[in-house]
Amino acid sequence: MMRRSPLLLNLLLVVGLVVLSVLSLIAGKVWVPLGHLAAASDPRWAIITELRIPRTILGLAVGATLGLSGAVLQGYTRNPVADPGLLGVSSMASLGAVLTIYLGLTGAAPWMMVAFAMSGAGIGVLILLALAGSAGGATTFLLAGMVLNVIAEAGLSLALMLSPNAWATSEIITWLLGSVADRSMVDVRIALPFIVVGSGLLLTTGRALDALTLGEAGARSVGVSLRRTQVVIAIGVGLACGASVAVTGVIGFVGLIVPHLVRPLVGSRPGALLVPSALAGAALLVAADILVRLTPAASEVRLGVAMAVLGGPFFLWLLLSMRRRLA
């Protein structure tokens, strides 16, 4: 039962995002005073325009995508541990991107990795829908995603084992750790349209997710097409997460953590969880990115590693809580 309207929460999250975005522009190894953000004559202006603006935009977009995708998948599968990596589409996007490194194509054009990653995500969606069949059941959909994950992970392992040189191996491993550092506006322009379209599709599933709380038979009885919902979710996750993975690498646990943080504030209705999860996902990823660039280390901690450090204990706590409830 929904406890309150999420409108106030959304407004607070938007204010938080504005504050975090400004902090993201000024914070780092080189701090830029707040009053100098618009001073184009300041020599640090290049750091803002060339590095931190693209980094902040991608942090917001990718975080929102992952949080939204996690909320949608948890609502559709009625599985509290579902996240964007569950369907295997993100893994297939990773495989496509890794192939560009393996084949030495990353220097050919800035869009090459994105094209391969989106192709991998598209192939993943087609395989996922073929494996899931026409019944549209959440369990079959979930199992199909697990199979796709196994296929993608096998391909990634094979690419690592057969990489032509040590440089390629190092590049693949570094990319798989995930980061929004050293990205440019070219990455933003290439990835953002796919992220927006995919997220838009996912936002249309709210009514179907609410109906699924009645069970699959109950959802069908109120006119919800489970097959159509399945296709929309697969394509939405494929576009949004595929584009995200293409430019940032693999960043996990955001889609798992965020819906559980937001759910106590808006109630258990899946449709009401979507927008707050997107906003909270953006806030979490930008905040984590600010923290990793401030760590006192010679090299910056990769964002994917930082999220794994945060997400691992959270996942363990979640499993223990579920076990206590079932006991």
* DSSP symbols for 74-143: HHHHT-TT--GGGGSHHHHHHHHHHHHHHTT-TTT-TTHHHHHHHHHHHHHHHHHHHHH-SS--HHHHHH
pTM of the model: 0.89
The tokens describing 300, both together, are: 């910056």
| CATH architecture of the region 7-326 | Orthogonal Bundle (1.10)
DSSP string computed for 212-263: GGG-HHHHHHTT--HHHHHHHHHHHHHHHHHHHHHHH----SHHHHHHHHHH
pLDDT of 43-89, one tens digit each? 777 888 888 999 999 999 999 999 999 999 889 888 787 788 777 88
pLDDT-derived band at 1 (thresholds 50, 70, 90) equals very low
**pLDDT for residue 18:** 96
- Rounded CA-CA distance 255/71 in Å is 7
- Rounded CA-CA distance 65/281 in Å is 7
**pLDDT for residue 136:** 55
Query: For 84, which DSSP code?
Result: G
Spans of all domains in the chain: 7-326
Question: Higher-confidence residue: 145 or 248?
Answer: 248
Q: Inform me whether the pLDDT recorded for 183 exceeds 70.
A: yes
- Read off φ and ψ for residue 246, nearest 5 degrees: -60, -35
Rg of the chain on CA atoms, in Å: 20
